[in-house]
Structure formats: structure tokens, C-alpha cells
Amino acid sequence: MAIDIIIILLFVVYAISAGFRAKKKASRNLSEYFLAGKTVSGWRAGVSMAATQFAADTPLLITGLIATGGIFLLWRLWIYGVAFIMMGFILSSGWRRAGVLTDAELTEVRYSGGGVLPLRILKAFYYGTVINCVVMAMVLVAAMRIAEIFLPWHLWLPDGLYSLFLGITNGLGLSLGESVTGLTADINTTNNMISIIVIISFTTLYSMTGGLRSVVATDVMQFGLAMIGILVYAFVIIKEVGGPGVMTDRVLEIYGNVAGGKLLSFAPTGGEALMPFLVIIGLQWFFQMNSDGTGYLAQRSMACKTDKDARIAGVLFAWLQIFLRSLIWTFIGVGILIIYPFASGDMSGDHFAASREILFVTGINDLLPPGIRGLMLTGLLAALASTIDTHLNWGAGYWSNDIYRRLVCDTWLKRKPRDIELVLAARLSNILILVIALFIMANLGSIQTAWYISLLFGAGMGSVLVLRWLWERINLYSEIAAMAVSLVVAPILLYTSDTEWIKLSLMALISTTAAVAVTFVTPSTDKSTLREFYKRIKPFGFWAKTAAEAGDDPKKPAQKLWRGVRAILLTALSLYCIKVGLGKIIFHLPDESYLFPIFSIMFGLLIIPVWWRDLVKGIE
């Protein structure tokens, strides 16, 4: 155990030192603090995106999804690759050229009218506090699951010191999750409280100190550690089950041909699942809260040195997240099905999902030897830290740039704040965000439950976020309508329907219809605002009238859009064909031919040169 702790401590020291190394530059102004002075290379930005998406909760979520619905259910995660690729080819350059620090600030660049500032502040609060803190809470729930097994503070700390923490827990009446190892409620809560305090203290320290520079620097290291960790873990699991060639046979032997085949299928196994599958594939990647990169993905694009770097970041992120890492996680998830089998009668409710999610961590404790276990734990800690530091830095941007500078200083106090004052506000706002996230965390159950709820709320915003870049007619009232519908309809759907795909499709349909309808019955954005936006961004899509007024070819934006759509489709086809082909060869079912997966891989490889040219040269 000692060597495991030493490995973890070395990473903690590296992360904190990265924050202090970047402190001087980060303290100059908000651009240096939140965008690293726009000096980030494409590959570093892409790896940073992937490190943040790794999170400590993601492998747990995948383990639970495979158990509850088989490999097919992972399409709910894989389909986001289309949105990532779209961001790379069509939207990333726009984010970088916008000259803003947050996506909320884009509101005043894109729209006109008296409601622009209120919309900006509303979005800053909605994304920077509500959505941001829910995501952080989900990650902290996963942190507690990991910490419960590997950080038994009641055994490590002196009795007197631990009694002090125990007294605080009981005095405050805290309850931080249910134990998955049989600990009493007060000891489990106390252990979780200590673990969370330790984890967020060091993460907050380097994030607050060094800004985005320290976040990206640690993200690159964290991604490397996490990948080494899961590769070693996958190798140990494959060895434990008898090798990659017998994994399919073992699953079919344990669960039977029908249930086992369903668990290993990459497609729906029955006609009743076809409609949900099509809805998920067709809608979910587009109707989600980050469909245009809003949030930390946009922040990484804005921080890139050039448009080419921003484009590379988005596409690289898609391949790292959806292809490379997901394939390894699938190996682990299927291996856990074999090592820790379950009975079909157990498959019900959040408890089953939560009990399967924790097995990802249980396997680390049971299967990995000291040293290797420390490396894997460091990888999980790194994944956790990369997500927390990003959301702290991203959330602080809203509070310091949009709320404090724009609302408090510019509008209320009528004064220009000093750079050092804004950086201080950014650092202090990290604490506020953490407090809110901790409160939400105490009231979350399964990670899957929280993820599904966040999907539903986000589904109402996705279409209008993309359309504002592609269609000149979208105005501020369009966004307000989408947000209002999302906040009103989501709770109704949560209580009136138990079918996930129906809730998502209804939310997408209702919110988009409302947004488009409101667009046509409300005033257009001021022509001068649209013209300045066009000149600055050079957007893709339906901007013919504004392009002509700006002295540009009115056909050019639409032509760029169709070239961009072609690049997106080809890149997505390449990614998914290679991924599914490899997956179906690895988890080959007895009644399936090898012809389809081989053809799929060959086709995916053959079209790489076509979209690669657009990636390197651009579509302008």
C-alpha cells in the first residue's frame, strides 16, 4: 500500500507545482487566466478535452451501461462523437475568432436588443452554476465510490483526530451517499467527507493559482497516466478471463446465448428496440447542452493559437474519446461481466446500476498488485482532477467575466475593474462553485440517474445553440424560448413518462418548435450587429443577406456549410466503421460472419485521406 500512496503523492506534487509555475502569467488578466493567452497548440487542446471527458465517473458509467443494456447502450455515449467532429470542422474557428472569454459573452456579440445583457447573465448562471455544478456533483459521487474502497480513513487516522471529524459529521447531520462496502452510515459519510476535502483542496489549489495554463499542463499528464492505467487494467482483466479470444465464449457460457448475445451486440437485438435506437442516434448528439461546444470545449477552442489548431483539437478529441479510450473501456466492462457475474433477476432500479458501476473500482482492488494499483488509482485521481479543475476554471469564468465585470462593475457600479481585481474574483468564485456542487452531490444517487436528468434538461437547448451559428435569423428571443421550455417541460416529462427516448424526443421537438416559432414572430437582430458578427466570425450556413451586406459572396457561407457537412460525415463514418469493425472482431458472436467487420474497417481506413485534407487545409 505504501508504494501506491507514494505514486499518488508524486502526482499531487506535480499538479500543485504546475499551478505555481503558471501563477505569474495567469495573474496578468482574465485572458491569460482563462484562455492561457491563446497559446495552446491543437494537440494539447484536444488531449485536454479528452482528459476532462475522461472523468472518474465515466468508466463507472460505462461499466453500469454494459451491465444494464449491453455494448449497444454505449451508443448513447459514442454518438457524441458527431458533435465533437462538427465542432472541429464548423464551429471551433468561430469560437476562436469571436474574441470572447465565455460562451455567455457571445450573446452580446451575436444579438442585439435590450434583453441581451439579461440573457448573458442568465446563461452565465444557468451554465456556470446550475449545469456546471450538477456535472461536478456527478464526478464527486464517483470520487466517493472510489474513495470508499481505497481511502479507509477510519483505519488510518488516529482515533482522536477521526473522532473529531466524526463529531462534525454527526453534528451537521450530513449524509454523503450509501455505503457499497457495508460501512455504517456515519463512518461512510465521514470517510467520504475527508476524501472530498483532500481531493478538492489540492485540485482547487493548482486550478485557482495557475488558471487554464496549469489546467492544460496537468490535463496532458493526467491523460497519459489515465491511459497507462486503463491499458494495464485491461491487460490484467483479459489475462484473468483467459485471453481475448475466449471473452465471447465466457459471456455466452455465463449468461446464455440470448442474454449473452444481447450484452455483446453493437446493434438493437429486437424490433422493439429499433425506434429508441433511431431516436438516440438521430437526436441525442445534436439536442444536448454542449452541442456547439458551449462550455469547456469552446474554452479550449478559444485558447488555441490558430484556427487550424482549434480544428485539430476538436477532431483529435473525438478520436481519443470515442475510438481509443472507449474501446479499452469496453474490454474492461465486458471482462467485469465475466469476473463478477450477475443474475437476470438482479437487473432493476438504481441500486443495480450503482452496484455494477462500483465493480470497476472493486476490480482494481481485487486484481491489481501493489504499484500497478497505485498507478491505476493515480490515473483515476488524475481523471477526477482533470474534470474538477476544468469545471472550476470554466465556472469561474462566468462569475468573474460575465457577472462581476459585466453586470456588477460595468452596469451597476459604472466603473472599469482592474485586471488584478478580476483575477481575484475568478479565484474566489471557485469556492462558491465548490460549495454548490457539494450540496448537489449529497443528493445524488446513481451516476446514470444524474446523467439522464442532465440529458433531458440539455436537450431543450441543443438545436438553438447550433442554429445561432448557422442561421442569421435566430435572435435572442429564440434562445430565451428554448431555455424557458427546457426549464418548464423537463420536470413535467420527468414525472409523466418513464421511457427515456420518448422524454428526449418530446423535449427536443417541443423546445425546437418553440424556438423557431418565436424566431419568426419577434424582431430580427440588428443589421449592424449581424454584419459585425459576420465579418469577425465568417460563419458557415444560411447568412446570404448578411454576407451580401458585408460585401461578400452571398453563396459562400452555404457552400462552406455543405463542405463542412461532408467532412463531418466522412470523419464520423471513418471513426465508427473502424470502431464497430474492430469491436465485432474482438467480440465475435458464433452466428456472425467476419465479412462485415473486415469490410467496415477497410472502408473506414480508405476514406481517411479525404477528410484529412479538410482537417489540415481547412474549408474556408
- Residues 428-440 pLDDT 10s: 888 888 888 887 7
Give the contacts of 436 (CB within 8 A, at least 6 positions apart): 129, 133
Nearest alpha-carbon partner for 189 in 172, 213, 204, 212: 172
Strand residues in 66-203 grouped as ranges (E): none
Write out pLDDT tens, residues 567-577.
999 999 999 99
Residue 223 φ/ψ, nearest 5 degrees? -65, -45
Q: How confident is the model at residue 406 (pLDDT cuts 50, 70, 90)?
A: very high
Q: Is the pLDDT of residue 264 over 90?
A: yes
Other Cβ atoms closer than 10 A to 418? 11
Evaluate whether 595 touches 581 at the Cβ level (below 8 Å).
no
CA distance from start to end of the chain: 55
How many CA atoms are closer than 13 Å to the CA of 555, on its beta-carbon side?
A: 0
pLDDT of residue 567: 97
Write out pLDDT tens, residues 303-319.
999 999 999 999 999 99
pLDDT of residue 206: 87
C-alpha separations of 478 from 32, 515, 614 in Å: 33, 5, 32
Write out pLDDT tens, residues 2-24.
676 777 788 888 888 988 999 99
Evaluate whether 281 touches 75 at the Cβ level (below 8 Å).
yes
Strand residues in 172-251 grouped as ranges (E): none
Q: Is the pLDDT of residue 508 over 80?
A: yes
Mean pLDDT of the chain: 88
Write out pLDDT tens, residues 538-562.
999 999 999 999 999 999 999 999 9
pLDDT of residue 112: 95
What pTM value is reported for the model? Answer: 0.90
Q: Is the pLDDT of residue 180 over 70?
A: no
Share of the chain above pLDDT 70, in %: 94
Other Cβ atoms closer than 10 A to 249? 15
Write out pLDDT tens, residues 52-67.
887 666 788 888 889 9
pLDDT of residue 445: 54
- In the predicted model, what is the mean pLDDT of residues 487-511? 83
pLDDT of residue 425: 92
Other Cβ atoms closer than 10 A to 387? 29
Take residue 194 and report the three cell numbers written for it. Answer: 475527508
pLDDT of residue 454: 62
Most confident of 121-125, 195-199, 462-466, 575-579: 575-579
- In the predicted model, what is the mean pLDDT of residues 59-84? 89
Structural fold of domain 2-617 = Sodium/glucose cotransporter (1.20.1730)
- Measured over the CA atoms of residue 564, residue 567, residue 569 and residue 575, the dihedral's sign is negative
Q: CA 424, CA 499: separation in Å to the nearest integer?
A: 46
Rounded (5°) CA angle 245-246-249: 130
Take residue 464 and report the three cell numbers written for it. Answer: 438553438
pLDDT of residue 451: 55
Give the contacts of 593 (CB within 8 A, at least 6 positions apart): none
Q: CA 153, CA 189: separation in Å to the nearest integer?
A: 11
- In the predicted model, what is the mean pLDDT of residues 278-287? 80
Rounded (5°) CA angle 507-90-451: 35
Evaluate whether 334 touches 246 at the Cβ level (below 8 Å).
no
Domain boundaries, the chain: 2-617
Of 143-152, 189-198, 321-330, 598-607, the least confident: 143-152
Share of the chain above pLDDT 90, in %: 49
